[in-house]
Amino acid sequence: MRLKEQIAILALGAGFAACTPKPPTHIIEDNMEFAQQQLRFAFDEIDYAIVNESPESREKREKNGWGELTNPRNSEPDGTLNLVPSKDWTSGFFPGELWYLYEYTQNNFWKKKAQQHTDMLEREKLNGTTHDMGFKMYCSFGNGYRLTQDEHYKEVLLQSARTLATRFKPKAGIIRSWDHSTARWACPVIIDNMMNLELLFWATKESQDSTFYQIAVDHAKTTMKHHFRPDFSSYHVVDYDTITGHVLKKNTHQGYADESAWSRGQAWALYGYTMCYRETRLPEFLEQAENIEKYLFTHRNMPEDLIPYWDFNAPDIPNEPRDVSAATVIASALYELSLYDAEKGQRYKDNADQIMDNLTKHYRATLKKDNGFLLLHSTGTKPTNTEVDVPIVYADYYFIEALMRKNKLEKTGKLF
């Protein structure tokens, strides 16, 4: 064969090689690489937003004693980055994401950033006006303590648990959720509150004080009794008389209607009871989690891609906004739930994998755009047209948590 022919054949082969698509990158590696690039971009966006805070925002924040702006919450529909002070219920999610990136990469860059954005929240350990201690403190300081064993973080968490415990109402057997809207509710409890029980379970193990454990179990059992309909869908808000313990009314605040199934509420319930089973091994909590899962995945309005509409009973399905945040919470919960039922476990994991695959392919943000958020198309509160079809930080947090759980499951078969 002549030299020219050899060169031509080699060139032709190289051309075919260049056109042959590369095998798909593993979903975990691909998303974690994307997250690292996107969150590095987010730091610049945060700095810009702080410098350019409006005088009205600054005046309102200072007047109310809310402290400095700390972490991102969402993008507004016009693309503006919304930052929040430490008191906001979402303030712990961004540092939680950074801790997960440190855990995954072991790169001290992420550790230092996580420490910086966690430390901003310490003042919240004494904030007894909110039930959101788990969201704020356990996602931030909790992940930090798990990864560093920093004794100061432990003390902050224990104080946070003590503060949360002050909201327990023994006669009703619940932790009060909100102090606002007193004209509407006497003692409101929202299904979201199930997520904050993990801090109390942790505090029992670390302090050997079973009071925290009992409060968490009482709240979970009372919620199981009063928040759920026969089909295991959940009300959003249940109002209690704290003297008699009687239920006064059942409503929604963020869902379509009082009797509808607000999607993120169903996700909080699934995650919450799965976690409660892990911490207690009480079979009724596992049964509850599995019944909630069955409701979700047999519902006629669950989309084919398993990314829920913002409410399962929203009137204009399929022309309703999705809630990606509900999907990420569900996926993370399913990875854990898959450990607890040998017969159904593979189905749970397969559904979680399908959610994660669809989020990656169809709901991910654009690199170095979208204010550094990872996912698009979450819905905060549709009835008031607040945070509708936008990136929201807790969707990103549970997305990364789900990726970490998938990674651990596939490598070790364990999560904890």
Residue 141 CA: distances (Å) to CA of 97, 258, 299: 12, 35, 37
Give the SS3 label for residue 325.
helix
SS3 annotation, 121-151 = CHHHHHCCCCCCHHHHHHHHHHHHHHHHCCH
Q: Cβ atoms within 10 A of the Cβ of 235, count?
A: 25
Region label for 378, one of left (φ > 0), alpha (ψ between -120 and 50) or beta (otherwise): beta
Is residue 132 part of the annotated active site? The answer reads yes
Q: Which of 88, 192, 323, 370 is catalytic?
A: 192
First to last CA, the chain: 63
192 is catalytic: yes
The DSSP-derived string for 214-239 is: HHHHHHHHHHHHHSB-TTS-B-SEEE
SS3 assignment, position 188: strand
**E strand map for 56-160:** 69-75, 81-85
Catalytic residue among 88, 132, 311, 323: 132
Q: How far apart are CA 224 and CA 94, in angstroms?
A: 30
Sign of CA dihedral 370, 374, 377, 380: negative
- The closest of 43, 89, 88, 93 to 68, measured between CA atoms, is 88
- CA gap 351, 297 in Å, rounded: 9
Instruction: Name the token pair of 111.
Output: 């550790």
Q: Which of the residues are catalytic?
A: 132, 192
